[in-house]
Amino acid sequence: MPVLITLIPAKIRPSFERDSIFGINTYLFGAKPSYMKQLLLVILSGIFFSQLTAQEKLNVVFILTDDHRHDAMGFTGRIPWLETPNMDLMAKQGVWVKNATVTTALCSPSRASILTGQYAHTHTVVDNFSPLPKNLRFFPEYLQKAGYQTSFFGKWHMGHQGDQPQKGFHHWESFTGQGVYFNPRLNINGTRTQYKDSAYITDLLTDHAIEWIKKQKKGQPFFTYISHKGVHDEFMPAPRHKGRYADKPIPYPSTINLTAKQGSKIFGDTTQLPLAARAASDPSYNVKDIPSWVWAQRNSWHGVDFMYNGRVWFDEFYRRYCETLLAVDESIGRILQTLKETGQDKNTILVYMGDNGFLMGEHGLIDKRNMYEESQKVPLLVYAPAHIKGGQILDAVIQNIDIAPTVLDIARVEKPSQMQGTSFLPLLKGAKIAWRSKAFYEYYWEYSFPQTPTTFGLRDGRYKFIYYPGVWDVSELYDLETDPEEKKNLWRHPDYQETAMRLRNELWDWLEQTGGMQIPLKRITEKRGDYGMHGLY
C-alpha cells in the first residue's frame, strides 16, 4: 500500500491530532479531494529530497529510551507543561514517525526485536528473564562487516542479568538488569567500574558516548547504540530537575476512574461518582465489555488503586516520570551538539525511539504489557536535515522489527533473510512505495507479573482487535478513529461482526505464516512475587 507523508511547511503542529494517524487509508479509498494534491506533494518531495550520495556511508546514532510513552513529548501537547526542546527540534527539523508501535510492549522482547528484526515468537526472548538464544544475529554484527565502528552504551537487559560484552559491538558499556539511576557499576569492555559521587546514569552514558564519538576518525563510518535506563521506574530525575514539575496539574486520562469500585481511589474531581456509574448510560462507553483482567488489575502492582503494592502515589509518580525524562532530552541535545562540533552533523542520522509505551492511568492501569494505545505505541523521531526533509509527519505503520533493516539500509547492507521487518528509509526519503497497513502484537503471560494475560492482536488502520487465549474473558475491538481512548469495545456489536471475524482471521494468518503457532514456554525457577502469593510455588 502506498504511504502518505504529510509535509509540515512552517512548524510542527502545536497539538496532538490523532485523527490524521489513519489518513493513509482514508485518502486512498475515501476519494478525498485533497488526495491528488497530497500525492503531488509526495512525488515532488521525492524529487526534492537530497538523495544519499552514491557511495557515502552515513553514521547512525540510535538512542533508545525505556518506557517512554509516545505522546510524552512537548510538541504533542498531551502534557501541556512538559518541556522537551530537543525532541521538539528533532520533530521540527526531522521526521516524527507518529504511528510507530512495538510488536511486544515489554523491555527484553522489544529490545530483542529491535536488534534482530524479528517477532518475539521467532527470537523467543518472550519475557525479561528468558536466556538469549546463541543463534540470534544482531544487526550491528552486519554493520561491523560493512566496515562500521560500533558501540553500545547502557541497558542491555537480555539473557538474565548479564552485563558482559555482546557480539556486534567494538566498544561496550553496560550494567546488569535494570541498572540504577545513581552510582552505577558499568562493565566497560569486560572490566567493571563502580561510579561514585552521585553519578547520574543518563548523564554518565551520554558523557561516555560523546567521548567515543569524538574519537571516531573522519571517513570511518560509525554506529552507536545509546540505551538509556531512563525513564524506567522507579523514576529518579537528575538532581537539577527534581521538583521542576512539583506544582503542575496532572492531566488524568478520561478512563482512569472507569473501573473504580467501592473503596477505589478516584482521580480528578473526587466529588464525582466513579466514572463507571455515569458511563453505564453513556453510549460512548461500553463498560459491560471491559475485560475482567482490567477490572482486577486496577487493584494490583500495575493498577492505580494499589500501585507497587500501595507504595507509590499516582500524582508524584506522574511528575517524577516527566522530570526523569528531562535528562534524556538533554542527552539528545548534547549528542546533536557533539555531532556539530566534530563536523559529523551532515553525515549522521540520529534516531530516537522508546522500547515500549507506558500507561499513566488509562483504563485504571499503569505500566505496559497490554495492547492499549499507550502501551503499544512508542516515540520515534528521525533527524538528518542534510539528507531527509524536515518537518514531516510519517503516518506509515512502522514497528520495532523495522529498525534493524532500516539501519542496515542506511549502511547499504542488504537485509538478511531472517529479518521479518522492512526498511522504512525509502519512506523517510519521500519515495512512494508499497507498505504494510497492519501492526501485529503478541505478549506472553509472565510468572512475575501475572496480572496481564497472554495477548495477541492486530491493529489494521482504523480498527484494533485484541484476543486473550487461555483466559475466560471478552475479546476487544476498537474503532480508533472515533474512539482513540478505547472506551467502547465493539466486539459484541452486531454491525462489527464481519470486521471482528476478518481481523481475527488475519491474526491467525500472521501467526501461521511466521511460525507463531507454538507459545515459547520458558522454565520458571523463582517463587511467586505477586501480592498475596509471595514466596509460594
The least distance separating Ca ion from the CB of residue 418, rounded to whole angstroms, comes to 24
By beta-carbon proximity to Ca ion, the closer residue of 132 and 490 is: 132
By beta-carbon proximity to Ca ion, the closer residue of 168 and 357 is: 357
The least distance separating Ca ion from the CB of residue 106, rounded to whole angstroms, comes to 7
Give 32-50 as a DSSP string: -TTHHHHHHHHHHHHHHSP
Contact 25, 405 (CB under 8 A): no
User: For the CA atoms of 408, 382, 87, 336, what is the dihedral angle to 10 degrees?
Assistant: 70
By beta-carbon proximity to Ca ion, the closer residue of 163 and 395 is: 163
Phi, psi for residue 194 in degrees, rounded to 5: -95, 120
The least distance separating Ca ion from the CB of residue 196, rounded to whole angstroms, comes to 27
Residue 143 one-letter amino acid: L
Among the listed ranges 179-187, 255-263, 266-274, 348-356, the one in contact with Ca ion (CB under 5 A) is 348-356
Beta strands in 171-290 (DSSP E): 171-175, 185-188, 191-194, 222-227
Our finding on whether 367 is near Ca ion (CB under 5 A) is no
- Closest to 182 measured CA to CA, from 205, 162, 161, 163: 205
Our finding on whether 107 is near Ca ion (CB under 5 A) is yes
Our finding on whether 477 is near Ca ion (CB under 5 A) is no
Our finding on whether 486 is near Ca ion (CB under 5 A) is no
The least distance separating Ca ion from the CB of residue 487, rounded to whole angstroms, comes to 26
Termini Cα distance of the chain: 50
By beta-carbon proximity to Ca ion, the closer residue of 114 and 210 is: 114
Could you give the residue ranges of the DSSP H alpha helices within 252-382? 275-279, 292-297, 314-341, 373-376
The least distance separating Ca ion from the CB of residue 128, rounded to whole angstroms, comes to 9
Which residue in 62, 64, 67, 87 binds Ca ion (CB under 5 A)? 67
Burial string for 108-128 (b: 16+ CB within 10 Å, else e) reads bbbbbbbbbbbbbbbbbbbbb
By beta-carbon proximity to Ca ion, the closer residue of 12 and 398 is: 398
Among the listed ranges 59-67, 117-125, 384-392, 476-484, the one in contact with Ca ion (CB under 5 A) is 59-67
Among the listed ranges 64-72, 274-282, 302-310, 449-457, the one in contact with Ca ion (CB under 5 A) is 64-72
Our finding on whether 66 is near Ca ion (CB under 5 A) is yes
Contact 116, 449 (CB under 8 A): no
N residues, the chain:
537
DSSP state of 51: P
Contact 455, 103 (CB under 8 A): no
Strands 366-367 and 359-360: antiparallel
Give me the residue whose beta carbon is nearest to Ca ion: 107
Site size for Ca ion, by CB under 5 A? Answer: 5
By beta-carbon proximity to Ca ion, the closer residue of 143 and 380 is: 380
By beta-carbon proximity to Ca ion, the closer residue of 68 and 137 is: 68
By beta-carbon proximity to Ca ion, the closer residue of 6 and 356 is: 356
- Please report, as ranges, the residues that interact with Ca ion according to CB under 5 A: 66-67, 107, 355-356
